[in-house]
A = this chain, B = another copy of it.
Amino acid sequence: MNLLTRNTDYAVRALIYMSGKHPERVSTADLDRDLHLPRPFMRKILQILQKAGYLASVKGKNGGFTLAKVPSRIHLTELIALFQGPVSMGDCLFRKKLCDCADGCPLRRVIKGIEAMALARLKSVTLASLTGA
């Protein structure tokens, strides 16, 4: 069970890299060279980040991406939501009709509690906190 999937992971790495280079432009070629991540996959991820407003892009020769937000305002939870959907660890384990999970299921309560803890912790993580800046 992994809290982050690859694309979220790669996204974070790319953003860290870019925050280091800022305001210099970074292309997928650069990332490929320095981070050695699967290039077309990375490309897709960057496009998603761009659409979501985390990156600004410049097309054409010498084009590339730059951070479009300050690192302190890029939250890990947002990135997770973007690539994996909202953080949710227990989408009704006990399925409807089979139990009244609606209200009192104790297992569900435990899971929800853990989820809340995880979420609280994740919310405090920003790109800035990851780079130590």
Interface residues of A (CB under 8 A from B): 1-4, 9, 12-13, 35-37, 76, 84-85, 87-91, 93-94, 97-99, 106-107, 110-111, 113-115, 117-118, 121-122, 125, 129-132
Contacts and interface: CB of A to CB of B under 8 A. Distances in A.
Given A13-B94, A36-B98, A3 B125 contact: no
Q: Copy number in this complex?
A: 2
21 contacts: A1-B89, A2-B89, A2-B91, A3-B89, A3-B114, A3-B115, A4-B90, A13-B94, A13-B98, A13-B99, A35-B98, A36-B97, A37-B98, A76-B107, A106-B129, A107-B125, A107-B130, A110-B122, A113-B121, A114-B117, A114-B121
Contacts of A129: 106
Nearest to A97: B36
A125 B110 CA distance: 8
